[in-house]
Amino acid sequence: MYIGFHRPGGLLAALGLLFIRCIDDAAAIGPVPVQNSGLAGINGFTFYDPFCAHACYRSFSPFPLSCTNTIEAGGHTTADELAHDIALCRASNFPFLSSIAWCVHLYCPQDAVPASLVEKFWETEITGDVSVVPQWSYGEVMSNISRPPTRVLTAEIGNGAELNETSLTTMAVFNVTENTLVYFFRETALESIYGYV
């Protein structure tokens, strides 16, 4: 069977058929534990769900907060204790939480993200540490934003710019961040499929 790789989606269609063929072969020889594999793209597993909320989080995580000045670009740290301290700071920092909440409010409806998925993201991902829950729920934060934000934070002004009020990110920063997450996940999912077969 010929599948045109030059056509958009041709490679993905071929990989899909190859994956289905491998699953059929595996079914003939016994059960395959794909449900608990933890492989990106297998059985619906994704680590950026929803993409829009993770893009909002990553748009604001590089900025220092009033409770810490140790957040580096990307919001990543290397020491567990420092990362936990940053998560504790984020959990009770209203400007951080409200900026992300407003971003989610602006950008996630276009992806038709259910409120339950936003709340799950909020409870498990918003601080950067699954063991540290935020002081306020997404709904509580949104109901306490008295007026729409007007201050725009971008990476260009991020050098020392403290996130000390509910702020906005630009559509360009949001789009680049979300697209990076989407394409990184797609690449990782393809690696999972290739590794699985």
> Is residue 93 within 8 Å of residue 66, measured between CB atoms?
yes
Render each residue's pLDDT in the chain as its tens digit; 197 residues: 333 334 445 544 544 544 444 444 444 433 444 445 555 555 565 677 788 999 999 999 888 888 865 545 455 545 677 788 889 999 999 999 999 999 999 999 887 888 999 999 999 999 988 899 999 999 999 999 999 999 998 766 556 678 899 999 999 999 998 888 888 777 776 776 666 66
End-to-end CA distance of the chain: 19
Q: What is the pTM of this model?
A: 0.70
Q: Which amino acid is at 164?
A: N
